[in-house]
Amino acid sequence: MSNGSETGGLTENKQSIRGNWGSRMGFILAATGSAIGLGNIWKFPYITGVYGGAAFVLVYLVCVVIVGLPLMMAELIIGRRSKKNPVGAFKALHKPRSPWQATGWLGVASGFVILSFYSVVAGWAMAYIFKSLAGFSGTGQQIQSQFGTLVAHPSASIMWHTIFMVLCIGIVIGGVQRGIERWSKILMPTLFAILLALMAYGVFYTHGGPRALEFLFKPDFSKLSAEAVLSALGHAFFTLSLGMGAMLTYGSYMRRDESITRDAITVSALDTIIALIAGVAIYSLVFNFDMDPAAGPGLIFQTLPVLFAKTGPWVSVPFFILLTFAALTSGISLLEVVVAYFIDERGWSRKKTTLILGTAIYLFGLLSAIASLTIPFRGRDQGFFDVFDFISTNYMLPVGGFLTCLFAAWVMKESDRVAEFGSRGPLYKGLIFVLRYVTPVAVFIVLLHGLELLPFMDY
Ligand code: PHE
């Protein structure tokens, strides 16, 4: 990238050609854009329903604080210190042929795999904008079966997957400031506004508000299973975009004069608040119409449309636009991790990298978009979508998060950490303690669970 505005004036520094955020707000919006995605609006509400509500929510909140926040700070510290992509970062902060660069490789691979199927779900969200415009009608069963039809029709899924990937590529080609930051500044405030309006609708215009609040905030610990605790932990870092270098990469474009602690708290808090607001909005509707909160992954695409048939398109259209925007700002962060690697390490231009890698991810994603393609996995024939989702969420992200945490806590130079954290005070000591002894243990447990190796669980 040759334009001066992206260099922030640091022309003597080779890193400057990588670009940086134009303002603190730009970073906050891009990072929250990455964090807030299908994880918040699709996954969080449905897993909360499956695991019984408030007790699960409480455990998830604890996980965000003890696992998510420290790991996010670790990624930002590594990213901003090295000013590199995930692979280059571990080399720069350790040594040129460091084995820790494997952590970065894993991150780049995770970005590639996750985006390939994430784009398919995002495509469904876009398809539902148009289905909403046309209006949902018919019996509950008929409305619910529309989703099956969409998924089973490769041509429709492929078309929407194509459109979503083209949007991601178009934005990432624009670069850090003129692509990602500019679009985050437009998409994120719109998303906040739509979500607040939907929540107000749920709480004030339906009768489901009080029950939704009770379901999400009045814990009944008898409903809490070991499985729920582990899922809460796993979800905490998927939703915060941790374990694959997305925050590391965004941190590498961050200015030196910003507080990593303050920014990490802001991003985690916004991500959590948005998930909770989405939960309130969705459950107000679900309870208003006496639907089942434990509907599972189909909650958004099958249960909600039945309710939208009663509320009309002016609730459903904004809802699916919201879902699409949320997915888009996460999709660009996934692509950026892969792109940053090829720009930094291979010296490719941003345009060339984005086009080539974006296309490769798109082609790989066709496997997930075609539901009829299956492979034997864990004892039965499964679609690629489920296989990639399972492998990345349960194996790749936890391993990446675990290694990143160990690197930041045990391998990285004390002076490097302190330089980015800004002090050696009690807060710093607390962070290092948590990163050394608390977070890795917690992540290790999730990992064993992902591998179905926990002794006290029934697999
Ligand atoms: N955090 C995103 C979500 O909640 C998903 C994501 C994971 C994005 C990892 C980037 C990296 O949907």
**pLDDT (tens digit, 9 = 90+) per residue, 364-418?**
999 999 988 999 998 898 889 889 988 888 889 889 999 999 999 999 999 999 9
Task: Give the pLDDT confidence score for residue 6 in this predicted structure.
Answer: 40
Average pLDDT, the chain: 90
Q: What is the pLDDT of residues 209-266, one digit of tens each?
A: 899 999 999 999 988 888 888 888 888 888 999 999 999 999 999 999 999 999 999 9
With a 6 A CB cut-off, is 246 part of the ligand 1 pocket?
Answer: yes
- R_g of the chain, CA atoms, integer Å: 21
Closest CA to 408 of 432, 388, 426, 392: 432
Angle, helix 260-288 to helix 303-311, in steps of 10 degrees: 70
What ranges do the domains of the chain cover?
22-450
CA of 37 to the centre of ligand 1 (A): 6
Bridge partners (DSSP) listed for residue 382: 375
Q: Which of 64, 191, 241, 399 to mutate to test the pocket of ligand 1 (most atoms within 8 A of CB)?
A: 241
Q: Rounded to an integer, what distance in angstroms lies between the CA atom of residue 257 and that of residue 255?
A: 6
Task: Give the pLDDT confidence score for residue 14 in this predicted structure.
Answer: 43
Which amino acid residue places its CA nearest to atom 7 of ligand 1? Answer: 241
Q: What is the pLDDT of residues 24-63, one digit of tens each?
A: 999 999 999 999 999 999 999 999 999 999 999 999 999 9
Closest CA to 447 of 399, 404, 390: 399
Q: Which of 330, 336, 399 to mutate to test the pocket of ligand 1 (most atoms within 8 A of CB)?
A: 330
With a 6 A CB cut-off, is 247 part of the ligand 1 pocket?
Answer: no
Q: At residue 84, what are phi and psi to the nearest 5 degrees?
A: -140, 170
pTM, entire model = 0.92
**What token pair was written down for 414?**
């004390």
Q: Of how many residues is the chain composed?
A: 459
Which DSSP helix (H) or strand (E) runs through 380? strand 380-383
For domain 22-450, give the CATH number. Answer: 1.20.1740.10
**What token pair was written down for 125?**
């969200």
Q: Are 80 and 27 in contact (CB under 8 A)?
A: no
With a 6 A CB cut-off, is 239 part of the ligand 1 pocket?
Answer: yes
Q: What is the pLDDT of residues 293-338, one digit of tens each?
A: 888 878 899 988 988 998 889 889 999 999 999 999 999 999 999 9
With a 6 A CB cut-off, is 35 part of the ligand 1 pocket?
Answer: yes
Q: What angle do CA 141, 144, 149 make, to 5 degrees?
A: 115
With a 6 A CB cut-off, is 39 part of the ligand 1 pocket?
Answer: yes
CA of 218 to the centre of ligand 1 (A): 28
